[in-house]
Amino acid sequence: MSGQCTTLEAMERVELHFHLLPGVDDGPSDLPTALDLAREAVADGTGLVVCTPHAHMIDVAELPDRVRELRSALARADVELEIRPGAELSWDHVAMYEGPALEAVAQGPPGRRWILLEAPLPGTGSLDDYEPAAQELRDRGYGVLVGHPERSPAMMADPGAVDRLIAAGDRVQVNASSLRGYHGSRARAGAIEIVRSGRADVLASDAHQPFDRGPALAFAVQELRAEGVADAERLASSEPRALLERGIAPARRLAA
């Protein structure tokens, strides 16, 4: 970036939930597709992507090497995008991971590390499954970023679910793809309600493929502004950046 930059840098978008690594999960199948997806992210105003493949579909010990390989490919292709290793955990895999594996996918500074924990999608579990898994991460010293609760029928059916997680110290990530209507009208309405009620901390594209399920932060910010959320941009830029730099405070246990 050049010298007009302090404003642009302050507004540079950051993706905390983005399937960019090629040939790993249901994200891009190969390197050319990953590069196309990265180019779309840059065009969307994004300067930093945390690569978050589904953790159970990769050996997390390989994440640093895979990210380094993609970083080199981005440089060769002149795609100016910073990338970092991470992963998206599902509730039913939390107990499988020892400390080093969790640390490999965690974000944030020491003492305030956090993990992206996917809200249960249809057929993948209930709140009775998810909430103990979130508590296990807290008990092990990690903050929790709840991934796309608006896509979870279990969470949306319980009016208190998101509030309980927030009360326990968790943060909330809403999908830009939900605001596009990609996951249906209920997910879109849920996303708008969570943001308008002030319970969302960040937006993320949860991108998987170029074009049909690509980056959508700019679209989401525009949609939210149309819904009366004047400060929507911070959810795509300063707030996710702050989570990376300052992390999430150690969780507090709720009274029984």
The 3 state secondary structure assigned to the chain is: CCCCHHHHHHHCEEEEEECCCCCCCCCCCCHHHHHHHHHHHHHCCEEEEEECCEHHHCCHHHHHHHHHHHHHHHHHCCCCCEEEECCEEEHHHHHHCCHHHHHHHCECCCCCCEEEEECCCCCCCCHHHHHHHHHHHHHCCCEEEEECHHHCHHHHHCCCHHHHHHHCCCEEEEEHHHHCCCCCHHHHHHHHHHHHCCCCCEEECCECECCCECCCHHHHHHHHHHCCCCCHHHHCCHHHHHHHHHCCCCCCCCCC
pLDDT for the residue numbered 2: 33
Report pLDDT for 9.
Answer: 40
Question: In terms of DSSP bridges, do strands 82-85 and 88-90 run parallel, antiparallel, or are they unpaired?
Answer: unpaired
The Cα–Cα gap between 200 and 198 comes to: 6
Query: Which domains does the chain possess?
Result: 5-245 (3.20.20.140)
Q: Which pTM was predicted?
A: 0.93
CB within 8 Å of 115: residues ≥ 6 apart: 89, 102, 105, 106, 107, 137, 142, 143, 144, 145
Per-position pLDDT tens, the chain of length 256: 333 333 334 479 999 999 999 999 999 999 999 999 999 999 999 999 999 999 999 999 999 999 999 999 999 999 999 999 999 999 999 999 989 999 999 999 999 999 999 999 988 889 999 999 999 999 999 999 999 999 999 999 999 999 999 999 999 999 999 999 999 999 999 999 999 999 999 999 999 999 889 999 999 999 999 999 999 999 999 999 999 999 998 775 444 4
Look at residue 252 in the predicted model and tell me its pLDDT: 59
Q: Which pLDDT belongs to residue 5?
A: 35
Q: Give φ, ψ of 208 to 5 degrees.
A: -125, -40
245 alpha carbon, distance to own chain's centre = 15
Q: How far apart are CA 86 and CA 59, in angstroms?
A: 12
